[in-house]
Chain A
């Protein structure tokens, strides 16, 4: 009989958190994690449980999130991205490492200290069906955080709930309805309203749109972006869908087996991925355009993600790495664990051979440099100024398609500018 249990405050691996040794951090960091580890014990036995191993869900992650920023966390299922989110919110007690929120070390915080911090950190969950109590009304769900933290009188809370419902685009009069009376997208709006109730600084959104229908997903993404502008929110956006993460994030951390493989600005990550896993991940994402799909070549990774209870030695990706194979399977990948190193400004990669990735056919393929970037490639400022679609696509080599530009020419006036991302 094997079961997974969250360990208590593990005596093992607690860092020697001597106060003076604290590393100087970026001044603006709202949330900072250092060498964070979260292991779940695997126990065996029915009456007497023996510790037979660990699932290394998060295995040494350092990351800082600045105020007003959106950091995306991508990776495949089991890579530990959700565990990072939950550990940051201190829903788990970290096995090792530090969690620092707004300058305050909350790694071992308990009781009222923790409760006070939690007011400033909220979460939006994946499944809008499972995350709302079916026996409570929408208003009850949204006002519960206010009640727990003893904010306002009943009347004030009632008013606040109505405001929150309107803020997330629901009719305030529907507060007395139950979750089953709402559609999936509407339920997720209720979940967002609940997260907003305490005016948090940080919101961890764990796959907030993956349970929703395609046509509804954009509604929620736009809502989250609007709220960020209105309330100056900071997001940790966890998702497996790289296109969505790229759309919403300022910076992206790509995770593989409990570690960060690459950390870069979202544009930089797409334009110049330097970790072989990031390249493979980007190449695997289907693009809704047959012309683009027709000239793309996928990197097909062999095999499955190894088990986090028994991760490969050295670089955990070495068992599936296309680059290692090309380099003649160097021993270093097996023997030595790569650490994140800065390859360019704010662009960190955990690969011994990241230099070799730059300029490979695979990287060029993924970024589509051959078909992009020419004279028509608009600058970032042009995009920010409201150019809806770049008319940059060249050569529709996909059969009998009309010769006109596949997706869109630039619109004459463009849509109204988006609210500023920074609050």
Chain B
């Protein structure tokens, strides 16, 4: 049985501009000690999906309006706040992009770490403090003891993120959700933090959901990847398969629009034209259709479901043999994925979208 099982999750926000359709039926599974990447651009619903899993949606605007989140066979959607509080930190922990906004600026590192530990474990203050020192040493902070009395602003960005990781792992959670953990960091510091994160997760057998917009980070850090667009999972595969055989036009577009460090100089970029859709309109058809060169008539009418790219009788949701699935009416062929544009003789690529203000 999977550790986490999200089924048909629907999340809406009520704003004064109307309803925002943030997550539109997301399903995925995660095994114990598995690493899953969630890629997509800002507003694609990758963060909201995980806030919903943690039941941390901003209230009253954000609501789970449908679906289930099973964690160890228990549906989190039905739990009350006290039950959720028991789970958060202890079973499921989360680290965010900007550690400065998730650490309390007026409390010392010691106060925050001891508070977390004592909230879930019956330990004395002295034991909690010893544990805090142990954790900071574990995340590579040299001479942690005097630093315990410091405030978050006295640390650099990389050090703060280490403190966050230490706090997230304080209670040895089964699942760690890392939401853009290195986006605010410099590339050499990002390398430090990612290395630390993957080593600790492996040591403790923690399952990780890594949310990022950076396909490079996903390639290096995860075993399985879901690509999200406008509140839908549009492609799901092992990370190796996803990059070897991208099968959704959006994934293909992302791969061709990023310059690669190891590319031949002069290789042109193929951008995805147009802009992501306005989520204040209820989705009709495939949300990527307006920007998609592969679109066909059906794309305007109905959102396709995630289907295996190779016909199979049994769909594997998790693990190294997870079935490669894509939600597309007109999947790019491997040659087209390589070229970044439709190549078939009998298919006329769709015209580019018009750039108009929203």
Q: Specify whether A and B are partners.
A: yes
Chain B nearest Cβ from A101, distance in angstroms:
28
Which residues of the partner chain A approach B340 to less than 8 Å between Cβ atoms? 388
Closest chain A CB from B274 CB (angstroms): 9
A365 to chain B, nearest CB (A): 12
Give 1 or 0 for each of A361-375: 1 = CB within 8 Å of chain B CB: 000000010001000
Q: Check if A218 sits within 8 Å of B272, measured CB to CB.
A: yes
Residue on A with the closest CB to B42? A213
B contact residues around A399 at 8 Å (CB):
238, 240, 320
Contact assessment for B262 and A182 in the assembled complex, using a CB-CB cutoff below 8 Å: no
A214 at the interface (CB under 8 A from B): yes
* B255 contacts A284, C-beta separation under 8 Å: no
- Bound together, the chains give a CA A185 to CA B189 distance in angstroms of 28
Cα A270 to Cα B265 in complex, Å, equals: 10
Q: A409 to B188, alpha carbons, bound, how many Å?
A: 32
Give complex CA distance A368, B258 in Å. Answer: 19
The answer to whether A243 touches B240 (Cβ under 8 A) is no
Give CA–CA (A217, B254) in the complex, Å: 10
Within the assembled complex, what's the spacing in Å between the Cα atoms of A222 and B337? 20
Q: Kindly list chain B residues whose C-beta atoms are within 8 Å of the C-beta of A380.
A: 264-266
**B105 sits at the interface (CB 8 A):** no
B349 at the interface (CB under 8 A from A): no
- A289 is an interface residue with CB less than 8 A from chain B: yes
Residues of A within 8 A of B187 (CB): 76, 240-242, 281, 284-285
**Pairwise interchain contact A218-B339, C-beta atoms closer than 8 A:** no
Question: For the complex, is B216 an interface residue (Cβ under 8 Å from A)?
Answer: yes
A136 within 8 A of B: no
Q: How far is the CA of A280 from the CA of B260 in the complex (A)?
A: 17
The stretch of B64-72, B116-124, B241-249 in contact with A is B241-249
Expressed in whole angstroms, the minimum distance between the Cβ of A224 and any Cβ of chain B is 11
With an 8 A cutoff between CB atoms, is B106 at the interface? no
- Asked if A389 meets B261 with Cβ closer than 8 Å, knowing A76-B188, A284-B188, A288-B219, the reply is no
CB distance from A399 to the nearest CB of B (A): 5
Q: Is the C-beta of B275 less than 8 angstroms from some C-beta in chain A? A: yes
* From A221, A301, A368, A378, contact of B264 by CB (8 A): A378
A171-B192 contact, Cβ under 8 Å, with A183-B275, A221-B269, A288-B260: no
A288 to B253, CA, bound (A): 13
Q: Which of A169, A185, A396 contacts B244 (CB 8 A)?
A: A396
Check B171 for interface membership: any CB of A closer than 8 A.
no
Is there contact, CB below 8 Å, between A181 and B357?
yes
Min distance, Cβ A80 to any Cβ of chain B, angstroms = 14
| A298 vs B321: C-alpha distance when bound (angstroms) | 28
Answer whether residue B311 sits at the interface, using C-beta atoms and an 8 A cutoff.
no
Q: Assess whether B214 is interfacial by the CB under 8 Å rule.
A: yes
By beta carbon, the residue of chain B nearest A181 is: B357
Q: Is B58 an interface residue (CB 8 A)?
A: no
Nearest chain A CB to B31 CB, angstrom units: 16
B285 interface residue per 8 A CB criterion: no
Whether, in the assembled complex, A149 has its beta carbon less than 8 Å from a beta carbon of chain B, the answer is: no
Cα distance A298–B135 when bound, in Å? 24
Tell me, rounded to whole Å, the shortest Cβ–Cβ distance linking A185 to chain B: 6
Number of interface residues of B (CB under 8 A): 66
Q: Which residue of A has the minimal Cβ distance to B261?
A: A243
- Determine if A6 is an interface residue (Cβ-Cβ < 8 Å): no
Separation in Å of the B208 CB from the closest CB of chain A?
16
- Give the chain B neighbours of A217 by CB distance below 8 A: 257-258, 271
A221 touches B259 (CB 8 A): yes
Q: Is A288 in contact with B42, judged by CB distance below 8 angstroms? A: no
A293 to B262, CA, bound (A): 11
Given contacts A281-B187, A284-B190, A407-B338, contact A400 B241 (CB under 8 A): yes
A404 to B356, CA, bound (A): 40
Is B158's CB within 8 Å of the partner chain A? yes
Chain A CB within 8 A of B350 CB: no
Residue pair A383, B265 in contact (C-beta under 8 Å):
yes
Contact call A304/B189, Cβ cutoff below 8 A: yes
Contact with B along A383-405 (1 / 0, CB 8 A): 11001111000001011111011
User: Which residue of chain A has the shortest Cβ distance to B263 in the bound complex?
Assistant: A247
Closest to B245 in A: A402
Contacts of A270 in B (CB 8 A): 261-262
List, in ascending order, chain A residues with CB within 8 A of B271's CB: 215-219, 221-222
How far, in whole Å, are A219 and B256 apart by their CA atoms in the complex?
Answer: 11
| Closest-CB distance, B305 to chain A (whole angstroms) | 23
Assess the B238–A186 pair: CB atoms within 8 A. no
Is residue B127 contacting chain A, with contact meaning CB distance below 8 A? Answer: no
A336 to B261, CA, bound (A): 33
Instruction: Provide the residues of chain A in CB contact with B253, threshold 8 Å.
Output: 215
CB contact list, A221-277 vs B, under 8 A: 221-222, 240-244, 246-248, 266-267, 270
Q: With both chains docked as a complex, state the minimum distance between the C-beta of A236 and any C-beta of chain B, in angstroms.
A: 18
How far apart are A290's CB and chain B's nearest CB, in angstroms? 5
Q: Is the CB of B158 within 8 A of A304?
A: yes
Q: How far is the CA of A299 from the CA of B187 in the complex (A)?
A: 11
User: A177, A222, A406: which contacts B243 (Cβ < 8 A)?
Assistant: A406
* B304 CB–A CB distance under 8 Å: no
- Residues A402 and B244 in contact in the complex (CB < 8 Å), given A281-B188, A407-B338: yes
Contacts of A183 in B (CB 8 A): 275, 357-358
Can you offer 5 A-B residue contacts whose CB atoms are under 8 A? Answer: A214-B215, A242-B261, A296-B220, A387-B267, A402-B244
Complex A-B, nearest 9 residue pairs according to Cβ-Cβ distance, in ascending order: A286-B216, A408-B338, A247-B259, A218-B271, A218-B257, A288-B215, A76-B186, A293-B220, A401-B240
B positions within 8 Å CB-CB of A:
41-42, 156, 158-159, 186-192, 195, 213-220, 238-241, 243-245, 253-273, 275-276, 291, 320-321, 334-335, 337-341, 354-358
Query: In the complex, given contacts A288-B215, A401-B244, what are 18 additional A-B residue pairs having Cβ atoms less than 8 angstroms apart?
Result: A171-B355, A186-B357, A214-B213, A247-B263, A247-B267, A286-B217, A286-B219, A287-B262, A288-B243, A289-B219, A290-B243, A293-B220, A383-B266, A387-B267, A396-B240, A401-B240, A401-B243, A411-B338
